[in-house]
Structure 1
Amino acid sequence: MKLILAKQDFRNSDAWSEVCDTLGLPDNTTQVEISASAMKVRTAEHPAWEEAEFWQNLVAEHIMGVDLVDAVRNGEVDGLKIEPSEDEAGYVKMMMRRRLKGNEQWDSETVEDDPYELSSAILSSLTIRNCQQLLKPYLE
């Protein structure tokens, strides 16, 4: 079962704003689809469904940045890991696994070894599956 709400279906922009506020959606949301397993959001700037961003925002709201960094360092986030940077002191390599046509490869991004910088880089790299795994303890 799905519920689809669209801005155009509301006569009053205040009522739509209230829906967005209640669901924690951005002000520029134009449509939202809610089901038992997920919520999809469309905004004026991004008319395509923003599923990953929705889940990443939930992680950001419920998991502290240092805990997110610890989860990656401890191998609890599939497809992400942090390794020391051999080239630059004070930096680490955030490794992201990519699978292309059955081949596995690891891409890396050099990030300052600071919990805020690391958590921001990790958050933007999380897949929907990663987010759901991280949020699972909060659902029980």
Structure 2
Amino acid sequence: MKYTLSFGYINIINDNIAEVLVDEGVEMSLEMCEEYDEFLHSHFHGPYAVLVNRIHNYKMSYETRLHIASHQDLVAIGVVSYNNHDSDEVAKLLQQRKIDNLNLKEFHGLDMGRGKAIAWLERELSTVNANTNS
């Protein structure tokens, strides 16, 4: 299922993975981040993962960088990057959020990154589910 939000859209890949695609030229504000959080909270109950597919160029405000990926049920984030700028943005986010120890992994879109990211997210979720059921 594809859902349109003010900043782009979210594809629900399966029961516990969402793919986020931000529109070209958007600057993600804290309000957009809250809209994103509300959407995820209303669609996922329990552990979930997010695939960020950076097919467009966009920016995140400083406040958004500090707030994004803070939901307690978020297990893992896979980011599909397509160029050096995208990779720099991922590195910048990881540096700013170093203390949070985000479970975030980058994949390269020109190297089947989306499929690899989904497989990794599924493994991360299965690990959490296995630990929960033990």
State the TM-score, normalizing by the size of structure 2: 0.20
Point out which structure has higher relative CO (alpha carbons under 8 A, 6+ apart): 2
Larger Rg: 1
